[in-house]
């Protein structure tokens, strides 16, 4: 009788097969152990921070990373020539290999176009060096998921580091925030509505000086004083149970400086401007109310040309909201001072035709201050002349103003005339007839 165990033991083929099986099993165990060990080390040693695209800090961090990319070039150039290899390694570690461009485009009133390009890390993985620590940036886009607020593909930026000091991420976020705020310091940010939220429109504008917009005597100071008084008396409103909001209506002919003054007012107060177009396609009563409620802090809400959206015939406005907007007249009134309307709010409206506005829209509580901005007065003509040509041109300013007596001219037309003759005050006077002809043609 054959001994089975001896047979297999003495058979070299079976011995080799079992040996291979054993080796394979051992390698499988080692691979699994190595994988588990790597996962364990990753959990223990790696620290990650994920920033979704709908979070406000998302754009802050991208902007901060783009600045670091620019600084890398400067840092690398300062390294000694004897350390060329180190310089290249630092540059390659900090500066992303693949970048995405963010373009800001603006067309000016004179037809010229200005653009600004910002390079930010593109999709994929990048490495940068921060305070002695290597950090990986992984920017990923999920085409199957849509950001409800922006209707754009959902994105995330994940920062990962070997450092166990989680405060490194707090420092990065703080630096990114400070960098973003520094870009807007001394500037006015214009916001427009995008879905249910406000988003910056273009690059922040340089603050417009208040004295660059010349209104009739005492008008500008009166508005500024009233706004400042409102801003500084929140407690007074609260103690008396009065809604803490203020509405202003600037009305008058086109070119009288309504919008320009609002920009200058925002610059004087250090506020931003939220521009709300009541004729925007898809705008509804609920969304209008929501936008007014969530407007950024320290912002003026601007409703331009409200007469174009709603006329005196309220029923017609209710049945046929302006073009493709679905905002009703009653919805606008409720958003301005209804139960759900927000406090701590300053709303400015403009119109060229106050007579077309329903009295219900401009009653106290919705519009508290009405200011007429008309065509240029003698005071405005003189002030604008001396602002363009200097204090020493006062006599010429009087002469220029007398030549325009009896003629109707807007401040916008005056400014255009002075720009044409910006280097020669006498040429401005000698060619005043061209300005008069222009005003006659515009009637």
395-438 pLDDT tens trace: 999 999 999 999 999 999 999 999 999 999 999 999 999 999 87
What is the model's pLDDT at position 118? Answer: 60
Q: What pLDDT, in 10s, does the model give residues 183-233?
A: 777 889 999 988 888 888 877 888 999 999 999 999 999 999 999 999 999
Sign (positive/negative) of CA torsion 162, 61, 102, 294? positive
What is the model's pLDDT at position 79? Answer: 38
What is the model's pLDDT at position 195? Answer: 80
Contact status, residue 60 vs residue 176, Cβ threshold 8 Å: yes
Structure tokens at 264: 């200058």
Q: What is the CA radius of gyration of the chain?
A: 33
Name the DSSP letter for residue 255.
T
From the options 1.10.1240.10, 3.40.50.300, 2.60.40.10, 3.40.50.1370, give the CATH code of 205-372.
Answer: 3.40.50.300
Q: Convert 97-114 into a string of H (helix), E (strand) and C (coil).
A: CCEEEEEEEEECCCCCEE
Length of the chain: 443
Residues 184, 182: Cα–Cα separation, whole Å = 5
What is the model's pLDDT at position 42? Answer: 58
Residues 142, 130: Cα–Cα separation, whole Å = 28
Structure tokens at 360: 């219900």
Please return the burial class of 310, using the count of CB atoms within 10 Å of its CB with bins 0-12, 13-18 and 19+: buried
What is the model's pLDDT at position 370? Answer: 97
Q: How does strand 245-251 pair with strand 345-351?
A: parallel
Name the DSSP letter for residue 213.
S
Structure tokens at 373: 């901005």
Strand order in the sheet with 299-303: 197-200, 190-194, 272-275, 299-303, 345-351, 245-251, 369-372
Q: How far is CA 156 from CA 53, 62, 126, 293, 350, in A?
A: 6, 11, 14, 28, 41
pTM comes to: 0.70
Q: Where are the domains of the chain?
A: 47-185, 205-372, 378-441
Please return the burial class of 352, using the count of CB atoms within 10 Å of its CB with bins 0-12, 13-18 and 19+: middle
Residues 222, 371: Cα–Cα separation, whole Å = 10
Please return the burial class of 175, using the count of CB atoms within 10 Å of its CB with bins 0-12, 13-18 and 19+: middle
Dihedrals φ, ψ of 236, to 5°? -60, -45
CA 286 to the chain's CA centroid? 23
Residues of the chain with pLDDT under 70: 1-30, 33-34, 36-45, 68-122, 143-153, 164, 310-324, 338-342, 441-443
Residues 266, 207: Cα–Cα separation, whole Å = 8
Q: Give the residue among 439, 221, 216, 231 at the shortest CA–CA distance from 346.
A: 231
What is the model's pLDDT at position 109? Answer: 40
Name the DSSP letter for residue 251.
E
Q: Give the residue among 198, 248, 200 at the shortest CA–CA distance from 223.
A: 248
What is the model's pLDDT at position 78? Answer: 39
3 state SS of 136: strand
Sign (positive/negative) of CA torsion 13, 18, 21, 26? negative
Which residue is associated with the tokens 């994940």? 158
Which DSSP string corresponds to 1-45?
Answer: ---HHHHHHH-HHHHHHHHHHHHHHHHHHHHHHHHHHHHHHHHHH
Q: Give the residue among 47, 66, 68, 61 at the shortest CA–CA distance from 116.
A: 66
């Amino acid at each position: 009788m054959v001994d089975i165990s001896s047979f297999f033991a003495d058979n070299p083929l079976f011995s080799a097969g079992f040996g291979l099986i054993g080796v394979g099993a051992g390698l499988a165990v080692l691979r699994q152990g190595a994988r588990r060990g790597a996962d364990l080390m990753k959990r223990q040693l790696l620290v990650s921070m994920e920033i979704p695209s709908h979070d406000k800090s998302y754009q802050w961090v991208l902007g901060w990373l783009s600045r670091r990319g620019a600084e890398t070039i400067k840092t690398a150039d300062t390294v000694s020539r004897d350390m060329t290899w180190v310089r290249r390694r630092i540059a390659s570690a900090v500066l992303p290999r693949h970048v995405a461009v963010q373009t800001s485009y603006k067309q000016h009133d004179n037809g010229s176009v200005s653009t600004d390009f910002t390079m930010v890390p593109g999709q994929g993985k990048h490495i940068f060096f921060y305070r002695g620590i290597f950090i990986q940036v992984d920017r990923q886009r999920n085409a199957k998921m849509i950001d409800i607020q922006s209707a754009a593909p959902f994105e995330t930026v994940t920062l990962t580091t070997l450092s166990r000091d989680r405060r490194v991420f707090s420092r990065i976020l703080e630096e990114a925030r400070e960098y973003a705020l520094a870009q807007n310091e001394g500037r006015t940010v214009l916001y427009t509505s995008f879905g249910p939220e406000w988003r910056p429109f273009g690059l922040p504008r340089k603050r417009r000086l208040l004295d660059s917009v010349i209104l009739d005597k005492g008008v500008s100071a009166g508005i500024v004083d009233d706004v400042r008084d409102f801003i500084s008396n929140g407690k007074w409103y609260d103690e008396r149970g009065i809604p803490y909001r203020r509405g202003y209506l600037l009305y008058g002919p086109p070119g009288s400086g309504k919008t320009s003054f609002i920009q200058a007012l925002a610059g004087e107060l250090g506020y931003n401007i939220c521009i709300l177009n009541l004729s925007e396609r898809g705008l509804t009563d609920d969304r209008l109310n929501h936008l007014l409620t969530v407007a950024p802090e320290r912002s003026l809400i601007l409703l331009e040309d409200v007469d174009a959206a709603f006329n005196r015939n309220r029923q017609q406005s209710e049945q046929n909201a302006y073009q493709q907007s679905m905002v009703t007249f009653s919805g606008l009134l409720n958003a301005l001072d209804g139960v759900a309307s927000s406090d701590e709010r300053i709303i400015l409206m403009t119109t060229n035709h106050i007579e077309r506005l329903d009295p219900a829209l401009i009653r106290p509580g919705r519009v508290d201050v009405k200011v007429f901005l008309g065509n240029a007065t003698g005071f405005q003509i003189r002030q604008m002349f001396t602002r363009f040509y200097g204090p020493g041109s006062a006599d010429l300013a009087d002469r220029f103003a007398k030549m325009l007596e009896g003629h109707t001219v807007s401040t916008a037309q005056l400014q255009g005339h002075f720009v044409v003759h910006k280097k020669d005050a006498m040429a401005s006077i000698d060619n005043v007839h061209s300005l008069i002809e222009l005003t006659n043609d515009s009637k």
